[in-house]
Amino acid sequence: MSYKKAARKIWQPFGIYVEFISINHEYYCSKGIHLYMEKHLA
């Protein structure tokens, strides 16, 4: 799976774009995903 292809921009009500990653149809905050990828894809 491509990190970039999985990345999605989701518009938050408070006016900030937060990037989420879809893995197995679940969404993870972009900050958390880096730790996830380091653990599982290193």
pLDDT tens per residue across span 14-36: 444 445 555 554 555 555 555 55
pLDDT of residue 23: 54
Among candidate residues 34, 11, 35, 33, the one with its CA nearest the CA of residue 22: 33
37: pLDDT strictly greater than 50: yes
User: What are the counts of helices (DSSP H) followed by strands (DSSP E) for the chain?
Assistant: 2, 3
pLDDT of residue 41: 56
pLDDT of residue 31: 55
pLDDT tens-digit readout, 2-11: 555 445 554 4
Which DSSP helix (H) or strand (E) runs through 17? strand 17-23
User: What pTM does this model have?
Assistant: 0.19
